[in-house]
Chains A and B, each alone.
Chain A
Amino acid sequence: AQTVTQSQPEMSVQEAETVTLSCTYDTSESDYYLFWYKQPPSRQMILVIRQEAYKQQNATENRFSVNFQKAAKSFSLKISDSQLGDAAMYFCAYRRDMNYGGATNKLIFGTGTLLAVQP
């Protein structure tokens, strides 16, 4: 079974600085997607960034980028120029490729990292 591990329950960063959140996963599948979701105090889940496993290039979205190491099964999130609005719980998630079919194409979440941004 696939698992997602986030080893940092809490992190803190100064405003305007850079922070990296760690995520590792375990799978025997070759085709899958990895996601980072943000859950601010409002509890609304927001997709931050998505990485397709078949793509070697790391995904980026403005100040957010990932370091995807497929062989090491590592998928870290880097937040540059941190802002107060980045304070939230961040969840790493895995999903097998839809081509596998079946009802098991569900998101598997890590336990989350609570990020605090200090002014």
Chain B
Amino acid sequence: GAVVSQHPSRVICKSGTSVKIECRSLDFQATTMFWYRQFPKKSLMLMATSNEGSKATYEQGVEKDKFLINHASLTLSTLTVTSAHPEDSSFYICSARAEGGDSYEQYFGPGTRLTVT
């Protein structure tokens, strides 16, 4: 199946700094990418939907100025957590949707664990 990568897999940053997470679709073009946040033993919470070349659509309650999403190409989307605080510590997962086909399959990255100290 299609592969989605995320970088870094783990990151530790100091409170007040910004951190960028990259999501790449390695062998297909993804017009749409999704960013999720997941707390331990909980479900995935959709943060935003990102379409290539346009502004991301954020879910209710997600601060768009804090979680900056850029989808500059059909294979790359980035999530930047600005002025990170300890409560932003979480597991972040991206997903890319392959356009066309019968089901518009959605493929998930391996996730990024963010720890803010």
Contacts and interface: CB of A to CB of B under 8 A. Distances in A.
A110 B43 contact: yes
Contacts of B57: 103
Interface of B: 1, 34, 38, 41-44, 46, 49, 51, 57, 91, 93, 95, 102-106, 108, 110-111
A21 to B, nearest CB: 14
Contact of A43 (B34, B51, B91, B105): B91
A91 B43 contact: yes
Given A91-B43, A112-B43, A107 B106 contact: yes
A44 interface: yes
Contacts of A105: 104
Given A98-B104, A103-B49, A107-B95, 20 more contacts: A33-B103, A43-B38, A43-B91, A43-B93, A43-B111, A44-B108, A44-B111, A45-B95, A47-B1, A47-B105, A50-B103, A89-B41, A91-B44, A106-B34, A106-B46, A106-B49, A107-B34, A107-B46, A109-B43, A112-B42
Q: 8 tightest A-B contacts by CB?
A: A45-B108, A43-B111, A109-B43, A44-B110, A98-B104, A111-B43, A103-B57, A112-B43
